[in-house]
Amino acid sequence: MRTAIRAGLLVGCLALIPATASAQKVSVDYDKSVDFSTYRTYAWRALGASPNPLMDKRILNAIDAQLAAKGWTKVEAEPVAIVIYRAGVDVRRQLNEWRSGPRWSGIGTVSVEEIHTGQLAVDIYDASTRQLLWRGLASDTMADNPEKNEKRLNDAVAKLFKQFPPR
């Protein structure tokens, strides 16, 4: 009976791992001495864009939408701020073990799962001084479905810019 309860608890705990592993991680830092109300225009500068052109376009659109919602305008000439992003994917391998029977003499299997985590860094610089004003970092587990990844990207960028510009 105790073995059945332990097995049930183990399966229940293992079922929660994917839910917690897929939680977005977002952090923001900024120069506290900067008056962000003086910044309203920006331009993009190329730097280590996503190796996937489709994802590159989605990232640019997501950030543009958030900045536009905050009253910032993208311009070609004489921007007050420069926006740069970098994106990447980290692959982590996880061993999953399932056993039945006594601890060391039971039957079991082991499988290897690759977990892909997308990472995004967004930097905003002062165009004239080239000083970093604001940095947002986000990471999230990636899905096999492009639509899910786009939704996760949009959610992560929205979280990054939730309290932007800093007051």
Query: What pLDDT is attached to residue 110?
Result: 75
Look over the chain and give the mean of its residue pLDDT values, rounded to a whole number: 80
Are 39 and 82 a contacting pair, CB within 8 Å?
Answer: no
Is this prediction's pTM over 0.85? Answer: no
Any idea what DSSP says for residue 122? E
Check whether 107 has a pLDDT greater than 90.
Answer: no
Where is pLDDT greater, at 5 or 60?
60
The predicted-structure confidence for 128-150, as pLDDT tens digits, reads as follows 999 999 999 998 887 778 898 89
3-state secondary structure of 76: coil
Where is pLDDT greater, at 69 or 105?
69
Query: What pLDDT is attached to residue 149?
Result: 85
Give the CATH class of 24-160: alpha beta
Q: Name the most confidently modeled range: 30-39, 86-95, 146-155.
A: 30-39
Model confidence at 164, in pLDDT bands (50, 70, 90)? very high
Nearest partner of 75 among 36, 35, 44, judged by Cα: 44
How far apart are the C-alpha atoms of 15 and 9, rounded to whole Å? 10
Q: Is the dihedral of CA 143, 144, 148, 154 positive or negative?
A: positive
Domain positions in the chain are: 24-160
Exposure b/e, 54-91, CB count within 10 A at least 16 = b: ebeebbbebbbebbeeeebeeeeeebbbbbbbebeeee
The predicted-structure confidence for 23-70, as pLDDT tens digits, reads as follows 789 999 999 999 999 999 999 997 656 667 888 899 999 999 999 999
Query: What pLDDT is attached to residue 134?
Result: 97
- CA trace torsion 111, 112, 114, 115 (10° rounding): 70
